[in-house]
Amino acid sequence: MTKAERAAHVAARLEGLYPETPIPLDHKDPYTLLIAVLLSAQCTDERVNKITPALFKRADTPEKMALVPVEEIREIIKPCGLSPRKSVAISELSKILLHQHGGKVPEDMAALEELPGVGHKTASVVMSQAFGVPAFPVDTHIHRLAQRWKLTNGKNVVQTEKDLKRAFPRESWNKLHLQIIFYGREYCTARGCDGTVCPICRELYPDRKRAVKTKK
């Protein structure tokens, strides 16, 4: 198969498996999504969803969060890991949203990336899932699968994002990003597949004998 044929096969299989793509992180608006995505760094979505109800009960807007002591935020989000850094980021970005953006999450990639604790991937998730702007957030799992399917040369997540955007139609990016995440969790996990085990890996490369050594 050519790369274009592989991409088409992947898109068709994922659409068949996951015609609906609910957002894994519980939220009610762009702000609560932003906070949930920030918390998800090096933490599972499942754990984030267990933590955010208590956090959002305490404060679910920039105005309210800006008034919560950092120590209190840290205590609530501690089970998520990296709580000292994340709690400061949540407090500081809430104040910035309040004072510089009228209490609203900006619908702008550059403005989002300027917020404390918000990198390109987090900003991409918010742009795609909160505002419906085409984006292709790439985490280490998507990076790994794209390498196994030879949709990227695997240099880094930045290159993988560019390669995936070229491989798939722009209008499919937001849904496909979630479909790949769902597929990776169910079929092509870090320990469960090495490029030779899961259905899509076998379909794309039926004669592959050796495990794929993915690059970080």
- pLDDT for 89-104, tens place per residue? 999 999 999 999 999 9
Residues belonging to the active site: 121, 139
Q: What CATH topology corresponds to 30-131? A: Endonuclease III; domain 1 (1.10.340)
Q: What is the pLDDT of residues 119-155, one digit of tens each?
A: 999 999 999 999 999 999 998 889 999 999 999 998 8
Interacting residues of 90 by C-beta distance below 8 A, sequence separation 6+: 35, 38, 65, 73, 77, 117
Question: Distance between alpha carbon 77 and the CA centroid of its chain, in Å?
Answer: 19
pTM for this model (two decimals): 0.90
Residue type, 105: V
Radius of gyration of the chain from its Cα atoms, rounded to whole angstroms: 18
Q: pLDDT value at position 214?
A: 85
Q: pLDDT value at position 96?
A: 98
CA distances to 39, 156, 185 from 131, rounded to whole Å, are: 19, 26, 25
Closest alpha carbon to 107 in 37, 49, 162, 29: 29
CA dihedral of 30, 128, 49, 22, whole degrees rounded to 10: 120
Whole-angstrom distance, CA of residue 60 vs CA of residue 95: 13
Q: What CATH topology corresponds to 3-21+136-204? A: Endonuclease Iii, domain 2 (1.10.1670)
Whole-angstrom distance, CA of residue 82 vs CA of residue 41: 9
196 burial (CB, 10 Å; 0-12 / 13-18 / 19+) is middle
Instruction: Return per-residue pLDDT of the chain as tens, 216 residues.
Output: 899 999 999 999 999 999 999 999 999 999 999 999 999 988 999 999 999 999 999 999 999 999 999 999 999 999 998 999 999 999 999 999 999 999 999 999 999 999 999 999 999 999 999 999 999 999 888 999 999 999 999 889 999 999 999 999 999 999 999 999 999 999 999 888 999 999 999 999 999 989 988 887
Alpha helices in the chain (DSSP H): 3-17, 30-39, 45-58, 62-65, 70-77, 83-100, 109-113, 120-131, 140-148, 157-167, 173-186, 199-204
Domain extents for the chain?
3-21+136-204, 30-131
